[in-house]
Chain A
Amino acid sequence: MQKRVVFRNTWLPYILVAPQILVTLVFFFWPSWQALESSFYIEDAFGFSREWVGLRNYTELFADPGYLKSFRTTLIFGLCVTFLAMSISLALAVAANRVLRAATVYRTFLIWPYAVAPALAGVIWYFLMNPSLGIVSYWLRALGYDWNHYVNGEQALGMVIVAAAWKQISYNFLFFLAGLQSIPKSLVEAAAIDRAGPGRRFWTIVFPLLSPTTFFLLVVNLVYAFFDTFSLIHATTEGGPADATSILVFRVYNTGFIGQDYGSSAAQSVVLMALVVAMTFVQFRYIDRRVNY
């Protein structure tokens, strides 16, 4: 945690940590405290007066079918994005770990989407799947599948899932590849000598040894899908049609900035904060145990 040999100075360390602590207090803790506080009030639209209502914002929130539906949407969205992005990137990483020739070329072509903003990924897929001129929707129609995400909520959700997963593949790929490369070759070779085929070797040796990476990515991907995809949804479907793609972070924004309902938005913020804290806690508590061999 700390050096054995340290400098002695009474004031210098405080000056050194001051900028970070200051920014943290002003832009992290003060707002978070305000969110917590205003979640117990109902404010009028102009911010002139507010009334203490206790837990009413919360009880109303959980009695609101729209909010509960948004929970469900978020869960479906998060699980689908995570599963899709992780399985594709695992397959790619296993393949990339096998090739000897052109390995760097493949890697370059597989990692660059990391740099693409989620909003841009969303806009591009929005274009590809546009019902009237998108090339993907044209192909789907040729296959006899009628695509229109402007009216069909499930298709809209499918579209944002694909776009969100597309963006996350590069990230997962790099971590899986690093994980695969750290597995000792001797284990795999020993299994091969015992006549275990490639599939068997993967599922009984490589995959279990990869579990710390897998678990880490599982949490990171869920956090990504729950929180970082706001821009993707805001730039494309804007939560629609009929709230079909309105995930929780989008709702916080929508209730607060568009609906001007500060109390409810603050309560939603607090619920989300609790969710993030829980996920971070799970990640730190279980990452070293359980999944280690």
Chain B
Amino acid sequence: MVENRFYLTVLTHAVLITGVFFLCFPVWMALVASTHPASALSSTPIPLWFGDQGWENYSQLLSGGLPEAGGVPVGQMMLNSGLMALGITFGKIAVSVLAAYAIVYFRFPFRMVFFWLIFLTLMLPVEVRILPTYDVITKLGMLNSYQGLIIPLIASATATFLFRQFFMTIPDELVEAARIDRAGPLRFFWDILLPLSRTNIAALFIILFIYGWNQYLWPLIITSDESLYTVVMGIQRMVNSGEQLPVWHYIMGTAVLAMVPPVIVVVAMQKLFVKGLVESEK
């Protein structure tokens, strides 16, 4: 801080507190609403403090789900989300670390062609080409399966570029030393490169886990089998459940459950998360 002015300090904290309030209030209301019985949410204004139905609501949701929306237990949906998120995360990291290794440490025909093929995928979000991708999945018979949920999303230009950038900063002497010691390329990769990339992999893990967990459109079109629903996508069935009025205390409970795992990951591994986010986008 350059100078100490009282009004500026007050203003600073006022801005921050307003910001924190704006960001936290919606989720606070979701938490509060999820602990009330349906009757408490039918009269305005709705309560701003917790009710006593929290335990009942959450256990109903986790084990029984919402009868109005097909009754898929939220616990089951969260398990699916977790499997999908972990599959995408590990898949992406494995696939892109290998590709980056090949592109940086080998000289081979068509290297640049491969590089540009990967680069172009940066530009094509799933949302944009949703229908033809769905056709491809149908042709491959991957509808309603974990492979269908995971494999199409594991190609990632971002992760490949992050690893490429990181490998470029690793001193050449390491390769020379490895070669003098007669270590082959796979040995070098496994014993030197991977251990050096540990922090990067961990940081990327957080970003990719959140990306995978929060997928929406993909599970929406790939799964028609209720036992494969993911939670972020499943909540939509509760909100737009046709004729009936939405059951808000259950919906908010589901929303809270759906955001708990990624939020925990971000808050618990804050330093790594910030590093991963800011560096992967550079």
Contacts and interface: CB of A to CB of B under 8 A. Distances in A.
B130 interface: yes
Interface in A234-293: 234-236, 238, 249, 252-253, 256-257, 262, 265-266, 269, 272-273, 276-277, 280
A132 B154 CA distance: 43
A79 interface: no
Interface in A139-193: 166, 169-171, 174-175, 178, 185, 188-189, 192
Interface stretch (A57-65, A70-78, A91-99): A91-99
Interface residues of B, number: 106
A16 B175 contact: no
Question: Which interface residue of B29, B120, B216 has the most chain A CB atoms within 10 A?
Answer: B216
Contact of B131 (A5, A220, A256): A256
Contacts of B179: 5, 7
Interface stretch (B51-59, B60-68, B98-106): B98-106
Contact of B217 (A3, A26, A111, A253): A253
A138 B41 CA distance: 13
Nearest to A250: B127
Contact of A132 (B15, B44, B151): B44
Contacts of B101: 16
B199 interface: no
Nearest to A88: B19
B216 A166 contact: no
B232 interface: yes
B46 to A, nearest CB: 6
Given A27-B155, A166-B22, A276-B124, A126 B239 contact: yes
B265 A276 contact: no
Contacts of A236: 239
Interface string B128-170: 1111110110001000000000011011000010000001100
Q: Is the interface of A mostly helix, strand, loop or mixed?
A: helix
Given A12-B185, A109-B23, A236-B239, A17 B98 contact: yes
Contacts of A262: 131
A109 B214 contact: no
B233 interface: yes
B213 interface: yes
A147 to B, nearest CB: 12
Contact of B132 (A2, A118, A269): A269
A268 B136 CA distance: 18
A135 B24 contact: no
Contacts of A266: 131-132
Contacts of A130: 248
Contacts of A5: 172, 175-176, 179
B129 A99 contact: no
A119 B274 contact: no
A38 B134 CA distance: 14
A222 interface: no
A124 B29 contact: yes
B115 to A, nearest CB: 9
B56 to A, nearest CB: 20
Contacts of A138: 44-46
A166 B232 contact: no
A218 interface: no
Interface residues of A, number: 104
Contact of A118 (B5, B175, B216): B216
Contacts of B41: 133
Interface in A1-56: 2-10, 12-14, 16-17, 19-21, 23-32, 34-35, 38
A114 interface: yes
A7 B128 contact: no
B228 interface: no
Q: Which 9 A-B pairs have the closest CB atoms?
A: A231-B216, A115-B262, A16-B102, A117-B214, A31-B132, A13-B106, A34-B132, A23-B155, A20-B99
Interface of B: 1-3, 5, 8-9, 11-13, 15-16, 19-20, 22-24, 26-27, 29-30, 33, 41-46, 48, 94-96, 98-99, 101-108, 111, 114, 117-118, 120-125, 127-133, 135-136, 140, 151-152, 154-155, 160, 167-168, 172, 175-176, 179, 184-186, 188, 210, 213-214, 216-217, 220-221, 232-233, 235-236, 239-240, 248, 251-252, 255, 258-259, 262-263, 265-267, 270, 273-274, 277-278, 281
19 contacts: A2-B104, A4-B172, A13-B111, A20-B160, A21-B117, A24-B155, A38-B132, A95-B19, A110-B16, A115-B263, A117-B214, A117-B259, A123-B236, A124-B30, A124-B252, A198-B5, A227-B128, A228-B125, A231-B232
Interface of A: 2-10, 12-14, 16-17, 19-21, 23-32, 34-35, 38, 88, 91-92, 95-96, 98-100, 106-121, 123-128, 130, 132-135, 138, 166, 169-171, 174-175, 178, 185, 188-189, 192, 198, 201, 216, 220, 223, 227-228, 230-231, 234-236, 238, 249, 252-253, 256-257, 262, 265-266, 269, 272-273, 276-277, 280
